[in-house]
């Protein structure tokens, strides 16, 4: 069953990892999909082509989500090509790690700019589009849905990654505040908080047996997450199956939040 048939979605950072898996899964569930990316035209176009092969509309759109001058035209194009937008997945993100005393202002600004300001800019444009559109009860009970890809680090402090943890902590209260402000208009806003997922962003943490085993000490479920663990949750949050869910952080983390240091009694 195609749960998202007739809906129009934008996934930011959809040329790789979690964003790519979400874009493909939205398409498999019947949504038309815009594949946003920042670099690598060929990879992004291949994702869009794979989605189109399933019989829905899709195109790749290059834009840096941290730049207002890129984000506003990206939403104008969706309105022009698809006639509107029903689902935003705020996924684009990166890390610029450093010990805190060595962290440069550039490392700080880049991570906050993409991970937090980028989510603000895209969410604001999506809300503006939703408000201009009427509700379409034949496709969804909600006027619009926003799914923010946050992290377990919206609550777990992370030494050596202060800029990243600060950006995801910011996403948490931004998401909840937008959810509160727009729930009366039937706009739902939620986050998925992944634990360790096998993507290029954290390759060092899973590519050798030694680092993988070290990572598993943090994961009670004793396996790394795969991008599709996140894409299934994203489709649920974008669909009417979760119509009474808004302002929620859904942790998809194999139990990483369960204080794994205590799993043998502490």
Q: State the catalytic residues.
A: 164
What is the closest distance, in whole angstroms, from the C-beta atom of residue 12 to ligand NAP in the complex?
6
**CA–CA gap between residue 167 and residue 115 (Å, rounded):** 6
Give the 3-state DSSP-derived string for 13-56, with helices as H, strands as E and coil as C: CCCCHHHHHHHHHHHHCCCEEEEEECCCHHHHHHHHHHHHCCCC
Please say which residue, 74 or 143, places its beta carbon nearer to ligand NAP. Answer: 74
Please say which residue, 48 or 114, places its beta carbon nearer to ligand NAP. Answer: 114
| 118, 63 contact by CB (below 8 A) | no
- 162, HSE (Cβ side, Cα atoms, 13 Å): 11
What is the closest distance, in whole angstroms, from the C-beta atom of residue 39 to ligand NAP in the complex?
4
**CA–CA gap between residue 59 and residue 10 (Å, rounded):** 10
Comparing CA positions, the residue from 188, 62, 168 lying closest to residue 116 is 168
What is the closest distance, in whole angstroms, from the C-beta atom of residue 122 to ligand NAP in the complex?
9
Measured CA distances, 243 to 24, 72, 185, 194 (Å): 22, 28, 13, 21
Residue 60: CB atoms within 10 Å:
23
Residues that bind ligand NAP (CB under 6 A): 12-13, 15-19, 36-40, 64-66, 91-94, 114, 118, 149, 151, 194, 196-197, 199-202
What is the closest distance, in whole angstroms, from the C-beta atom of residue 19 to ligand NAP in the complex?
5
């Amino acid at each position: 069953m195609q749960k998202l048939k007739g809906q129009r979605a934008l996934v930011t950072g959809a040329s790789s990892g979690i964003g790519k898996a979400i874009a493909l899964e939205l398409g498999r569930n019947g949504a038309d999909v815009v594949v946003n990316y920042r670099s690598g035209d060929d990879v992004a176009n291949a994702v869009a082509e794979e989605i189109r092969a399933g019989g829905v509309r899709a195109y790749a759109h290059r834009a840096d989500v941290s730049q207002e001058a890129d984000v506003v035209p990206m939403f104008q194009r969706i309105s022009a090509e698809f006639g509107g937008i029903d689902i935003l997945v705020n996924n684009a993100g990166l890390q610029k790690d450093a010990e805190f005393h060595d962290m440069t202002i550039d490392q700080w600004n880049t991570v906050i700019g993409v991970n937090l300001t980028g989510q603000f800019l895209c969410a604001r444009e999506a809300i503006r589009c939703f408000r201009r559109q009427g509700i379409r009860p034949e496709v969804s009970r909600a006027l619009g849905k926003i799914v923010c890809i946050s992290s377990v680090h919206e609550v777990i402090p992370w030494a050596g990654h202060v800029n990243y943890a600060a950006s995801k902590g910011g996403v948490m209260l931004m998401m909840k505040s937008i959810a509160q402000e727009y729930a009366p208009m039937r706009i739902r806003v939620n986050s998925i908080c992944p634990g360790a997922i096998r993507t290029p962003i954290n390759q060092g943490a899973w590519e050798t047996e030694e680092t993988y085993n070290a990572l598993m000490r943090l994961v009670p479920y004793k396996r790394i997450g795969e991008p599709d663990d996140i894409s299934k949750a994203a489709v649920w949050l974008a669909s009417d199956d979760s119509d009474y869910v808004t302002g929620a952080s859904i942790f998809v983390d194999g139990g990483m939040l369960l204080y794994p240091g205590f799993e043998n009694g502490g």
